[in-house]
A and B are shown apart, each in its own frame.
Chain A
């Protein structure tokens, strides 16, 4: 079924098809509508979900953890300060290996106060043990959210699915919605390995582990994320087989004989796509690598892919504040360390707080990369 939906509407629609057991949420711009629309599905009896509008995001994630620990398929939605307020709870969900799934409409962090798109919210939660998926279009967000539920449950890891605030959350696009029954059948019921309220196998969740076992728990959590990638790829392949459209962990666009490519995440990939087309028309050997999965980070795939090119411009829609360069660049550089045929890496930060990023900006980056130009350690695109 072809529908016109904004990013928020599409995420809410995906949640309706997912039909989670529990949703606990608190309003925040620009993701409020996801849960607002979903709450109407609840009230109209279109889903079997128990919905509670709690008093803060901290409470929302805490309630989600309680629900997930009892063995329920659990979701919420948030953004920016909301995700930041959940920060403590994100680590709890990660450490307890609870497959909570959260669509976010990515937005900058205060201070100063700003409601527009960048990736500083989810990237600041990088080490919390959550899978992170970034999307270019509304349909990709919709598909990714459905897939994320299966991935999260398969890997026993919580997952964030990011659509860029306002750019995707509030803009209407054409999506081909999947058949609801088919989605529900594909997901199947959630069967947790362990859960509270199982009277035959009583468990204790979240006890203190000091020098005796904490380290071992953490090591096992790290292993859980490290080995998640093939499972994520399996789910992607299965989704494609079932629904006829699919995605990779990363997407190469016109990279075949490219000398210089841009690597980035999120909606700006659309601008970069246009810029690649424009430069290709003029004979420029450029391409784009769109990274869709930030956690689990596909180190080997990145190394294999990026060593084919002479220059790679890495675009960060966030900054780590003097961590030498942007957060994505850091991870890419670490993945490439020690590889043969290392490409020249250029670092660009762009679009903080929703700052306009156009195909012209993208084309300038590609032209610079093609010329092997490195003006400064990090180039801050479009800053006054």
Chain B
């Protein structure tokens, strides 16, 4: 069944429903996320960006991995795929290759994307796969009870680092940038309008885009570190975030409860994997090369 965005909008014109209900699988609501967690806001921003975009809903696919953020795929009323831990990006790669017309969005957490799935992350960025990554960073493995991971700031306490983490965390925008990502941004769960606009930009453009969203985890990370509720963390983001668009991503390190550098850091054009492959093989093989155009164009699959 095809939906157009305006049809969806008409469904909520009676004012009795959440404006994004047509974009949610309401039979799976209420969601499992904790009160004052930033994930609801991230989902809201993403769905608002989808609603505002000109891309038809049936052309957008959401892929997520395992963890709190991994639950996103189950809540969106779009074609969605809840994959295994760490493998959201390869699933998304396959999806994009099989159907190049799709807008493929990976929404997953920091542990999923850059720990167990880190290898896939760097290689998808290197190839400039035309997929969009929204990485909700809550600085720990929240779903399993708050263990430290590759983004936990030094000295932050977690259930596996009771006296504070001593490992060096990733600077995610720098990681994405250095691996070849063509769009890199970081926002917080407080910067809803910036985040929504950024997701909208990423959806419209081609190439590997990476948006990090700093998000409160009130139940495990914040509680272990006595940072208060999610609301207190939003206040912290308000008081300590500095927007520095275009800054060198090497300067985007996150230190425990210190200034957060946010903004759009990278936005550049580069040929995508699909275009590079098609162009290269056309040159190499010549007339005989027939590029794959996806299932939409296949005989008998035209509807």
Contact between chains at B147 and A32 (CB < 8 Å): yes
In the complex, which residues of chain A have a beta carbon less than 8 angstroms from the beta carbon of B115? 55-56
Is B173 among interface residues, defined by CB-CB distance under 8 A?
A: no
Query: Complex: how many Å from CA A32 to CA B111?
Result: 14
Contact between chains at A40 and B162 (CB < 8 Å): yes
Contact between chains at B82 and A27 (CB < 8 Å): no
Partner of B161, one of A27, A43, A56: A43
Query: Complex: how many Å from CA A81 to CA B167?
Result: 26
In the complex, which residues 41-70 of chain A have their Cβ closer than 8 Å to any Cβ of chain B? Answer: 43-44, 53, 55-57
In the complex, which residues of chain A have a beta carbon less than 8 angstroms from the beta carbon of B163? 43
Contact between chains at A39 and B84 (CB < 8 Å): no
Is A330 among interface residues, defined by CB-CB distance under 8 A?
A: no
Contact between chains at B145 and A36 (CB < 8 Å): yes
Identity of the chain A residue whose Cβ is nearest the Cβ of B165 in the assembled complex: A53
Contact between chains at A32 and B118 (CB < 8 Å): no
Is A29 among interface residues, defined by CB-CB distance under 8 A?
A: yes
Q: Mark B83-100, 1 if CB is under 8 A from A, else 0.
A: 011100000000000000
Question: Could you tell me the distance in whole angstroms from the C-beta of B82 to the nearest C-beta in chain A?
Answer: 7
Question: Could you tell me the distance in whole angstroms from the C-beta of A308 to the nearest C-beta in chain B?
Answer: 45
In the complex, which residues of chain A have a beta carbon less than 8 angstroms from the beta carbon of B59? none
In the complex, which residues 103-159 of chain B have their Cβ closer than 8 Å to any Cβ of chain A? Answer: 115-116, 118, 141, 143-145, 147-150, 159
Contact between chains at B145 and A26 (CB < 8 Å): no
Question: Could you tell me the distance in whole angstroms from the C-beta of B145 to the nearest C-beta in chain A?
Answer: 6
Query: Complex: how many Å from CA A40 to CA B146?
Result: 13
Partner of A39, one of B82, B141, B149, B160: B160
Is A320 among interface residues, defined by CB-CB distance under 8 A?
A: no
Query: Complex: how many Å from CA A53 to CA B85?
Result: 16
Contact between chains at A113 and B82 (CB < 8 Å): yes
Contact between chains at A32 and B82 (CB < 8 Å): no
In the complex, which residues of chain B have a beta carbon less than 8 angstroms from the beta carbon of A121? none
In the complex, which residues of chain A have a beta carbon less than 8 angstroms from the beta carbon of B66? 81, 113
Given that A27-B144, A29-B144 are known contacts, is A56 also in contact with B86, CB under 8 Å in the complex? yes
Query: Complex: how many Å from CA A55 to CA B113?
Result: 11
Query: Complex: how many Å from CA A27 to CA B158?
Result: 13
Contact between chains at A36 and B159 (CB < 8 Å): yes
Question: Could you tell me the distance in whole angstroms from the C-beta of A52 to the nearest C-beta in chain B?
Answer: 9
Partner of B145, one of A32, A44, A110: A32
Query: Complex: how many Å from CA A39 to CA B147?
Result: 10
Query: Complex: how many Å from CA A179 to CA B142?
Result: 35
Question: Could you tell me the distance in whole angstroms from the C-beta of A34 to the nearest C-beta in chain B?
Answer: 11
In the complex, which residues 83-140 of chain A have their Cβ closer than 8 Å to any Cβ of chain B? Answer: 85, 110, 113
Is A232 among interface residues, defined by CB-CB distance under 8 A?
A: no
Identity of the chain A residue whose Cβ is nearest the Cβ of B148 in the assembled complex: A53
Identity of the chain B residue whose Cβ is nearest the Cβ of A54 in the assembled complex: B115
Partner of B116, one of A32, A33, A55: A55
In the complex, which residues of chain A have a beta carbon less than 8 angstroms from the beta carbon of B162? 39-40, 43-44
Contact between chains at B160 and A53 (CB < 8 Å): yes
Is A28 among interface residues, defined by CB-CB distance under 8 A?
A: yes
Identity of the chain A residue whose Cβ is nearest the Cβ of B115 in the assembled complex: A55
Question: Could you tell me the distance in whole angstroms from the C-beta of A262 to the nearest C-beta in chain B?
Answer: 35
Q: Mark B74-88, 1 if CB is under 8 A from A, else 0.
A: 000000001011100
Contact between chains at B147 and A27 (CB < 8 Å): yes
In the complex, which residues of chain B have a beta carbon less than 8 angstroms from the beta carbon of A36? 145, 147, 159-160
Query: Complex: how many Å from CA A81 to CA B83?
Result: 12
Query: Complex: how many Å from CA A362 to CA B159?
Result: 39
In the complex, which residues of chain B have a beta carbon less than 8 angstroms from the beta carbon of A53? 147-149, 160, 167
Identity of the chain B residue whose Cβ is nearest the Cβ of A52 in the assembled complex: B167
Contact between chains at A28 and B161 (CB < 8 Å): no
Identity of the chain A residue whose Cβ is nearest the Cβ of B163 in the assembled complex: A43
Question: Could you tell me the distance in whole angstroms from the C-beta of A14 to the nearest C-beta in chain B?
Answer: 18
Question: Could you tell me the distance in whole angstroms from the C-beta of A80 to the nearest C-beta in chain B?
Answer: 10
Question: Could you tell me the distance in whole angstroms from the C-beta of B229 to the nearest C-beta in chain A?
Answer: 24
Contact between chains at B159 and A81 (CB < 8 Å): no
Query: Complex: how many Å from CA A81 to CA B66?
Result: 11
Is A24 among interface residues, defined by CB-CB distance under 8 A?
A: no
Contact between chains at B145 and A56 (CB < 8 Å): no
Question: Could you tell me the distance in whole angstroms from the C-beta of A13 to the nearest C-beta in chain B?
Answer: 17
Q: Mark A243-265, 1 if CB is under 8 A from B, else 0.
A: 00000000000000000000000
Query: Complex: how many Å from CA A39 to CA B162?
Result: 9
Point out which of A27, A28, A55, A113 has the most chain B C-beta atoms below 10 A from its C-beta.
Answer: A27
Question: Could you tell me the distance in whole angstroms from the C-beta of A76 to the nearest C-beta in chain B?
Answer: 13
Point out which of A29, A36, A85 has the most chain B C-beta atoms below 10 A from its C-beta.
Answer: A36
Q: Mark A345-376, 1 if CB is under 8 A from B, else 0.
A: 00000000000000000000000000000000
Contact between chains at A81 and B85 (CB < 8 Å): yes
Given that A36-B145, A81-B84, A113-B82 are known contacts, is A26 also in contact with B160, CB under 8 Å in the complex? no
Contact between chains at A27 and B141 (CB < 8 Å): yes
Query: Complex: how many Å from CA A304 to CA B6?
Result: 74
Partner of B160, one of A28, A29, A35, A57: A35
Contact between chains at B116 and A26 (CB < 8 Å): yes
In the complex, which residues of chain B have a beta carbon less than 8 angstroms from the beta carbon of A43? 161-163
In the complex, which residues of chain A have a beta carbon less than 8 angstroms from the beta carbon of B148? 53
Query: Complex: how many Å from CA A215 to CA B161?
Result: 45
In the complex, which residues of chain A have a beta carbon less than 8 angstroms from the beta carbon of B143? 29
Query: Complex: how many Å from CA A236 to CA B272?
Result: 61
In the complex, which residues of chain B have a beta carbon less than 8 angstroms from the beta carbon of A39? 159-162
Contact between chains at B118 and A110 (CB < 8 Å): no
In the complex, which residues of chain B have a beta carbon less than 8 angstroms from the beta carbon of A26? 116
Identity of the chain A residue whose Cβ is nearest the Cβ of B159 in the assembled complex: A36
A-B contact pairs, 10 of them (CB 8 A): A27-B147, A27-B160, A36-B160, A39-B161, A43-B161, A43-B162, A55-B116, A57-B116, A81-B84, A81-B85
Beyond A27-B147, A29-B143, A53-B167, 6 additional contacts (C-beta under 8 Å) are A36-B147, A39-B162, A40-B160, A53-B147, A56-B86, A110-B84
B residues with a Cβ closer than 8 A to A are 66, 82, 84-86, 115-116, 118, 141, 143-145, 147-150, 159-163, 167
For the complex of A and B, list the 9 residue pairs with the smallest distance between their C-beta atoms, beginning with the closest: A27-B144, A56-B116, A39-B160, A55-B115, A32-B144, A27-B147, A36-B159, A27-B141, A43-B162
